[in-house]
Structure 1
């Protein structure tokens, strides 16, 4: 195995590390975006779960090449530094210089170099996070991405359950359940009539009441009008209901006793004449 082959293998290894590290870093940012959007939508009661997912994927896809080409793409100096840190340069020189010798010491040194190269070749299949700070920074990146992932996904689940109606929104949790405005509509009974139906009704703002009817309780009484209408109003009939209620309201019907004697004449006493 010559030095160029080792260099080529390590370039491929570092490129894989760079790509994976770029993806992991981008995922951390993507999860932060997902959390921010999901939290905002949860507070404002916006049904935008799919927007969170699309935004997270888009941000991850956009930042991955930026991280790779700006930060984690290996160059010749980086590859040489990694090789030097693992002591492969000296072992490569040893194998080259002692390749023609058959002495016992030369064989031992060649075997040692071969074992070291084999070990590093096996390690080449293991992907590590390649950062200037080494393994500690790699663990920090993994921990950060894992944490943001859990938070982002959890917030998305909460938003989804809120959209389904299982959980309350953030706005309701903070300010409490908003109570609807309600109004009282009363239909009063009076002389000569009664109300058939629900006389006192509580209605939400903008709602309507159920139908009621003003009915005479005795013969000889006739409906004239409602207190809030004119006699010639087309809606001025004994049966009514209210629509688009926006205030408390009290109304009553006006009934008049009618003369049922049939007027003059008949069997009554005759009128005096001059």
Structure 2
């Protein structure tokens, strides 16, 4: 009797495993509007043409005007990179975004996200079970930072990251390469191994030799501590001071989709800053 029960259990497990392995990622589904298009890029010398950059006008979390555009970026004018962290469920978990700044004042944000279907909602468990495809979104700051700080009521921090110019350009190109790969061959999002932080680490690791694996790559809310300890942030100031300076929540929420959004969120405000998540 015990043998039959064990055999039945093994068979059931094998059937579930076979079903799970049979799931294939796709670029052809009824996607939610904000991930409905696939980013693609073409590199010609120092110029990068990106297609389908997101620039939504968000009035609420479900009230928006969808806009997409193409644009050309000159890597010779790339001069800064910022790490944005958006907290929605306590201090340990944050969504990681990377914003590149150019000498003409433009800022472009790359975000590794789930590619949610129209009737789906994010689920941590679903991220383990091949429920979601993976997406790389390129967006204007006035879209992707505003919607998180404003309509979604998340707490958003923006940290200037120290990175040599060659590594800065290589990281930008790595995002473009990964986006092109996903456009040709979709893959699944995974809560631990293919998420908004681990993919960034995979791209940065070849550019910064010796950058170690760390639990804070999973508990991404603690990424500032990780970067600070490895010289990625300005260590002339205490981390608590950097964290207070990085809190752009109020400015990003209030600036809406103004053309000067990027300048406004980087202008120190006299208003009282919110405390970091705790």
Query: Normalized against structure 2, the TM-score is what?
Result: 0.20
Tell me which structure has the larger Cα radius of gyration. 1
Q: Select the structure that is richer in strand.
A: 2
Q: Which structure ranks higher in relative contact order (CA pairs < 8 Å, sequence separation ≥ 6)?
A: 2
